[in-house]
Structure 1
């Protein structure tokens, strides 16, 4: 490149220098272009520089490049440019990964991005002089938009946390009056202090009790979901017998089973133990069995099976309900989401599977759902480890270590292997037999089957 000098003078009498190529070109560019010599003195600038910084090209010539940099950044800027000038790189991109600010003539700061380019210029006395072209872009509008987006996101997250914290701390205030309604209605229903009188009152008090229990379950589900969102759920794991917890969950939904004349079969080895929080495990299976009950037809059958999957242990809940389309299955497990095939007549808010999946994830376990229209639904829970309880463990025998727990929201993968041969038996038509335990509708207690012949479903 050649350069020619004009008679005009720039800042402090510094001669205005223009490059033969470039003036018309760089003046047409939308980005500011500033050319400096080896001492970081500006020797050329285009018209976009004036629009961005308020200095005319003639006023900038002869000034130091740091004129366009806020004072607090100048020393770091000078060092960075010197390192670039002394290095082997011919170009350097300055991006939004580092905060770069420019200084306007009136003192206003702007966010900028740019590119540094080295160019060799023939020196007046022969040889080459290394100059640097600085191409700058004003990104203040984008930066402001990003900042507004970050603030909006922070406000949204703070609002969400506040909502979750509020709901999570409202347990006592919401449940206490409901427990009083339910408790006093039970006293009246049972005629603890004498007869009620008119039989209509008995019907009314049963309605009050059932409505209170229904409302309590809704409130409890919302509070569980709120505690999960607020990260206030901390499992207290210990080795627990899995079958007893599942049977306790079955007893919890026994009134619904009786009302719909449904049968529940539990085929779980009573010696199997898992390392988990018993209260959370019980709630997991209350939710899964409750769903199976709600979405199975009257007189239907529900089965709970165990599977050995290598180092993992699975418990599967099966029903013979109307089933769910595969596309809808993928949407389940999110809060307040229900499958479109379920018309809403069974009630619920779409929190049961979300809570069950979240509780499983707290234990490093996983949940998977398989279903098809008209084929019922299979919900499998895969646990990271289990052990067999012995009646009289040998003295000093070492128990297996608890399985490593997973992080919330990240349950381990669940192997989709086929069910065992007992599935046809457990979900067979009436008249088939199976060795298992069932719930006695009359007493609400677990009724063992006859080991010799099995129980007739």
Structure 2
């Protein structure tokens, strides 16, 4: 017994290990291929065979009928020839024997002697089968018969034979003829075979007759048997053909019904997003319905799938098909309900739920897992979305400041937040889903509401289902309750203790307010007059504001126009003074004139710069200043601005430094960036005492480049920083002013920075220095390349 169990365990392990190998070998075996080809050939020729087999059966019946007819005709001819030969031979034998007898005299006893001689002359069995021997004398009268026929004796033989054939036809060696003869039977004349032989001597002739009915009796029996057998065989064969045709018709109709039913089932399965499968667990082979192929976006086919084919498109993290097969074979379980993913033809994963039962066909030991696969991708996604929505809902409920609770139609707890739990001091065991309302309230240490009627009040103007309640600890709640569609209700409680206290204070102050109502009524008229005055003032303010805006616009246009008008003569003044200073057309003569020319040139240049600043500021205020950003090298712009202020800095012995990386690039308008840096450096140099320093730095800050201009100048007080960047604003007034300028440098720089989307920042300390900074977007080095 132990040896048998060990052998069985070894065989079972071998079956487990060979599942995958069998699946491939069974599919690729020549016999399976041959059977498949034969099956396909039979299916293709089935319709043709249904039409050919009935025709072959009818043809077989016709051939059999022709063959048996010919055979029976041949037997009939042979029977007739044999009868004719027999009659002829017997007639010859009798005639020979009678001729050898001595002369027979016509005496008394003549007929008796002749009968005896005739009987002795007959061969053995000559009278069998209804043969009749007649002897006639020379006058043609029948004198003897064997077997004896007294009714025929003494009759002329011509009465028997002559009516149909002249007697002369029967010669001495005449053949056997078929003639109608009346032998005195009940049916009258009948057809017989007759032969006549003439005798020598006193006797005339001997005739031998045999009815054809007796001759052909055996043939007719064979004919009846053959006809009966043929008719029976034909009827049986026709019945078989009819049954085959009927069965074929029913089979064809059944095939049509099967095809239509299968098409309907496949359509229903396809629209139902499901498919059928049949898994041979012992061999590893699997059959899929066409709807299951279409479910996975694959071409339907009637081939059997191997275990490896199915395992390759199954997600390994969801299910182990080999382990499932081993478990089913070992445990004996029959029901399967698994959820897993399979790869779609487009590469995506489809969630399937497989439900099936193991069945064994009668007479076969191989178990088959037969079931259905349902596409649950949408349900899985909806479940995941529902889970996420539930988490979001719980988070939302938890984050609200009010106490929230939801009860179902059975007054059982569905969900509540921590505020509700802490409000009633509920333990964790009491806030589980499904806990009845009475149990929750019984576990609450702060659940009972004070019983006095004044405790629960319906607030004026509150919606239906909203009320105020006072708890035992003295706190007040604003409770809003609404019924849900399923019969439950949701309750939201807001702590309004502070509001109630505030209401009490309001009640106290209401009396004081009533006292002031009279005074307010008296002053109402005064307020109405003041209101009308305010309306008039507002209208005047709007009018003055419009006028101011128009004046500001006119001012900007005037400045722009006057700047254009002043630039033309200034350019001439600057040009001519420069020519005179350079003495291009000869010496001036007096050195004082040369100094005057230099003063004229410097004053004109200063005035032109002021006008340019005014013109730029006017464009900015009028909104006509536009920038075109590009990738600009920050170091190059800084170097250009530094060279321009170098002259002014050298005169005051001010050191100007620029610390900007050569590979620093920004998105900016090149001219605007240069003007920003130039204005900031020029201001720094202007307000820095002799022997001071001015530093320009640029450092990356995230995706920005931060520019900083730092000086060691006079500094700016905190109260002046806010208004310093306004147009035409200077910290020094006309009485304390020590530096020239229009007051537009910082304003223009700030406006240009804001056009780039940045912001200008000023940090300063009096008598220590100032730092002006702004940022611009960094440019990618690859774009620059």
Taking structure 2 as the reference length, the TM-score comes to: 0.31
> Runs of at least 4 residues of structure 1 off by over 6 A?
135-139
Task: Say yes or no: does 1:290 pair with 2:682.
Answer: yes
The residue that corresponds to 1:151 in the other structure is 543
Three-state SS of the structure 2 residue aligned to 1:331 is: helix
Q: Of Structure 1 and Structure 2, which has the larger fraction of its residues in strand?
A: 1
The CA distance in 1 between the partners of 2:714 and 2:592, in whole Å, is 37
Find 2:774's aligned residue among 373, 381, 384: 381
Three-state SS of the structure 1 residue aligned to 2:772 is: strand
> Structure 1 residue 307: deviation in Å?
1.4
The CA distance in 2 between the partners of 1:251 and 1:334, in whole Å, is 27
> Structure 1 residue 283: deviation in Å?
1.4
Conserved in 1, the CA contact under 8 Å of 2:646 and 2:656? no
The CA distance in 1 between the partners of 2:717 and 2:540, in whole Å, is 42
Distance change (3 Å), C-alpha of 1:305 and 1:399: closer
Find 1:310's aligned residue among 702, 720, 739: 702
> Structure 1 residue 255: deviation in Å?
2.1
The CA distance in 1 between the partners of 2:586 and 2:733, in whole Å, is 48
Alignment of 1:55-70 (within 5 A): none
The residue that corresponds to 1:269 in the other structure is 661
> Structure 1 residue 142: deviation in Å?
4.3
Conserved in 2, the CA contact under 8 Å of 1:243 and 1:269? yes
Distance change (3 Å), C-alpha of 1:150 and 1:177: same
Task: Say yes or no: does 1:367 pair with 2:776.
Answer: no
The CA distance in 2 between the partners of 1:184 and 1:336, in whole Å, is 30
Task: Say yes or no: does 1:358 pair with 2:754.
Answer: no
The CA distance in 1 between the partners of 2:779 and 2:604, in whole Å, is 40
Q: Of Structure 1 and Structure 2, which has the larger fraction of its residues in helix?
A: 2
C-alpha distance after superposition, 1:202-232 (max 9, x if no partner): 2111011011011112222222222222112
Distance change (3 Å), C-alpha of 1:187 and 1:222: same
The residue that corresponds to 1:259 in the other structure is 651
Deviates more, 1:355-364 or 1:157-166: 157-166
Conserved in 2, the CA contact under 8 Å of 1:272 and 1:388? no
The residue that corresponds to 1:214 in the other structure is 606
> Structure 1 residue 260: deviation in Å?
0.7
C-alpha distance after superposition, 1:140-164 (max 9, x if no partner): 5544433232222112211211211
C-alpha distance after superposition, 1:60-100 (max 9, x if no partner): xxxxxxxxxxxxxxxxxxxxxxxxxxxx9xxxxxxxxxxxx
Conserved in 2, the CA contact under 8 Å of 1:237 and 1:275? yes
Three-state SS of the structure 2 residue aligned to 1:206 is: helix
The CA distance in 1 between the partners of 2:767 and 2:635, in whole Å, is 29
Find 2:712's aligned residue among 320, 325, 328: 320
Conserved in 2, the CA contact under 8 Å of 1:328 and 1:340? no
The residue that corresponds to 1:414 in the other structure is none
The CA distance in 2 between the partners of 1:183 and 1:254, in whole Å, is 23
C-alpha distance after superposition, 1:392-451 (max 9, x if no partner): x6xxxx569xxxxxxxxxxxxxxxxxxxxxxxxxxxxxxxxxxxxxxxxxxxxxxxxxxx
Deviates more, 1:301-310 or 1:224-233: 224-233
Conserved in 2, the CA contact under 8 Å of 1:168 and 1:230? no
Three-state SS of the structure 1 residue aligned to 2:723 is: coil
Three-state SS of the structure 2 residue aligned to 1:370 is: strand
Higher relative contact order (CA 8 A, sep 6+): 1
Find 2:575's aligned residue among 180, 183, 200: 183
Aligned length: 259
Distance change (3 Å), C-alpha of 1:198 and 1:210: same
Conserved in 1, the CA contact under 8 Å of 2:763 and 2:770? yes
Three-state SS of the structure 1 residue aligned to 2:724 is: coil
Three-state SS of the structure 2 residue aligned to 1:157 is: helix
The CA distance in 2 between the partners of 1:299 and 1:315, in whole Å, is 23
The CA distance in 1 between the partners of 2:645 and 2:784, in whole Å, is 34
The CA distance in 2 between the partners of 1:373 and 1:248, in whole Å, is 29
For structure 1, the residue ranges without an aligned partner over 5 or more in a row are 1-87, 89-134, 401-457
Distance change (3 Å), C-alpha of 1:169 and 1:235: farther
Conserved in 2, the CA contact under 8 Å of 1:240 and 1:276? yes
Conserved in 2, the CA contact under 8 Å of 1:297 and 1:321? yes
The CA distance in 2 between the partners of 1:146 and 1:164, in whole Å, is 26
The CA distance in 1 between the partners of 2:610 and 2:553, in whole Å, is 21
Distance change (3 Å), C-alpha of 1:341 and 1:304: farther
The CA distance in 2 between the partners of 1:344 and 1:240, in whole Å, is 37
The residue that corresponds to 1:168 in the other structure is 560
Larger radius of gyration: 2
Task: Say yes or no: does 1:234 pair with 2:626.
Answer: yes
The CA distance in 2 between the partners of 1:399 and 1:244, in whole Å, is 14
The CA distance in 2 between the partners of 1:365 and 1:280, in whole Å, is 13
Distance change (3 Å), C-alpha of 1:231 and 1:205: same
RMSD: 2.6
The residue that corresponds to 2:742 in the other structure is 349
> Structure 1 residue 379: deviation in Å?
0.9
For structure 2, the residue ranges without an aligned partner over 5 or more in a row are 1-460, 462-523
